[in-house]
Chain A
């Protein structure tokens, strides 16, 4: 695997990690299966691309994240006030967002950003020459670290703790006179804002935004999240929120590195996804396999002692 490929995998990993963090908030903390993800990811990308095209890359990122929060708000209202099933509410929002995303891109399905300044090009121009090839890695790493720190801090505040409690035991929360509708809404807004932020940054990274960008994002996000959980379970007996968040980022990076490894392994183009799936399966099941072998060894020894 070449250095550039590995570096690119790490850069994409840090950016897709934001999706994993958003899903950590909705799936794990709030216990809601939020399907809005595919739509809000593209919404962030679409809004950001349009602003960037007109010369405002930083504003574009901000607007993208806020738009994602709006999408999360709509899903939350559907679930809490209109009492629609959470999964269906997410699907409704995601479906509606397809048309909204097309409008956000000016009724086009593809917005190219090849010739306008992006946050990455601006950041790179401020770095000394020797560091320039590493500028994207630095920036994406800094962003992932900053978002992780903010999220960890937020989940320690009163509101953050209320959100965590809502996911744990909704009845208890309302018995403690905290409004679960409010906490769910805030939680979903923040989660989708994170996902949209990821979409916005990815649009500027790959220099185009496309209407089908978000398809399958839920799957990628969950895979990264769970890979991270497996590794954090290995190292910590009971991982707390900071450990989970940091390892979610790690999981996203590992997932992209796995795909890059499969690419480097010169498999036939059509077999790429099969090989990636196999590598993910092997990596995730490695701890279980090791446990199995260990138990078998113990059993053999026990049998030997029993016979002796």
Chain B
């Protein structure tokens, strides 16, 4: 009797928390997901599920720009359910199932694994992804790059050639590049593949130092010193977290570190020709508004950002003895 009571107590505690959950949709959610695109009646605010892969300054920047542009476009009263996947695949699955169960009108997924989780959870609710470096490779759009299911969005392909051209301008005479990145990040791997292709085309040698977590960055960086003329880091979350450390080691050794994201330049990298993540968030919001206003997902093409901006860290440049006239 006492044991049954204990079980009943624990179960009711769990269920009570579930019952007082703040899910706006009624529990009678249809088994199939909400309408793919519909014109909302004026009384009901639009519901958007926003899934960010992990806490990260660049991704936060995208999200904030998205929200600002959404409001500017007239959807300030939209109910946005922001969830963070904390880089946990099972949590991402549960969050996407929550969005489907709540019957949201649109899902916004920031970063590749979040977009893949959303695509696995529904084929009917429109999904707008942001900052997916290779949407074709991730299976989100067809092989020709056009949306052929319910996914479209913005891609932050990196202009590797321009970064190398900037490198040649600021610190000329680079014979060997060192690539420092985390093999387990798909976005890094595709950028490094591009970088290798550019190096081969320009007859520049390269070597690699890979890491699996932020703690290994110091050792990897030290292993590259003396072997290479410049280090290149793609849009890699792991290296980004250890950027201040990497910058310190590199500056002491007078080694230029070229990166692919402006947040990494702010943390001490030398320079980049980078995607402006605020612009990315803005463009993602514009695409979302287009779909909310009734456009079919298949008619909204994937947008690859091609407006790059050169960002140089002046302190790092001074530490490396680079002439300010070169980048002002």
Contacts and interface: CB of A to CB of B under 8 A. Distances in A.
A5 interface: yes
B138 interface: yes
Contacts of A109: 183-186, 189
Contact of B98 (A113, A133, A260): A260
A211 B139 CA distance: 17
Dominant secondary structure at the B interface: helix
Contacts of B21: 1, 261, 263-266
Interface stretch (B25-33, B240-248, B277-285, B286-294): B25-33
Given A112-B138, A113-B139, A270-B55, A283 B13 contact: yes
Interface stretch (A8-16, A67-75, A81-89, A138-146): A8-16
A261 B18 contact: yes
Interface string A190-208: 0000000000001001111
A308 interface: no
Interface string A122-156: 00000000000100000000000000000000000
A102 interface: yes
Interface string B125-140: 0000000000001111
A129 to B, nearest CB: 11
Interface string A220-262: 1000000000010011000000000000000000101111111
Contacts of B9: 286, 290
Contact of A235 (B7, B15, B27, B95): B7
Contacts, number: 172
Chain B contact patch, size range: 35 or more
A136 to B, nearest CB: 11
Given A114-B120, A213-B89, A261-B21, A282 B3 contact: no
Interface string A81-121: 00000000000000000100010000011101111000000
B301 to A, nearest CB: 19
A304 B54 CA distance: 58
Contact of A5 (B55, B84, B97, B189): B97
A266 B186 contact: no
B303 interface: no
Interface string B74-107: 0000000011101111111111011011100000
A4 B22 contact: no
Nearest to B212: A98
A1 B212 CA distance: 37
Given A4-B31, A264-B23, A110 B186 contact: yes
A43 B7 CA distance: 37
B184 A206 contact: no
Interface string B157-181: 0000000000000000000000000
A175 interface: no
Contact of A265 (B5, B7, B17): B17
Contacts of B276: none
Given A206-B120, A286-B10, A263 B3 contact: no
Given A114-B119, A208-B120, A4 B94 contact: no
A259 B186 contact: no
A237 B40 CA distance: 58
A290 B12 CA distance: 14
A263 B83 contact: yes
B328 interface: no
A54 interface: no
A207 B83 contact: no
A13 to B, nearest CB: 10
Contacts of B139: 112-115, 208
Contact of B31 (A133, A266, A273, A282): A133
Pick the most buried of B19, B29, B101, B112: most chain A CB atoms within 10 A of its CB.
B101
A4 B89 contact: no
A151 B94 CA distance: 28
Contact of A212 (B22, B87, B189): B87
Nearest to B120: A207
B3 A4 contact: no
A235 B3 contact: yes
A258 B28 CA distance: 21
Name the 6 nearest CB pairs between A and B, nearest first.
A2-B101, A264-B21, A112-B139, A266-B22, A4-B101, A8-B97
5 contacts: A2-B102, A3-B27, A114-B119, A202-B90, A208-B116
Interface of A: 1-9, 12, 16, 98, 102, 108-110, 112-115, 133, 202, 205-208, 210-213, 216, 220, 231, 234-235, 254, 256-266, 269-270, 272-273, 279, 282-283, 286-287, 290, 294
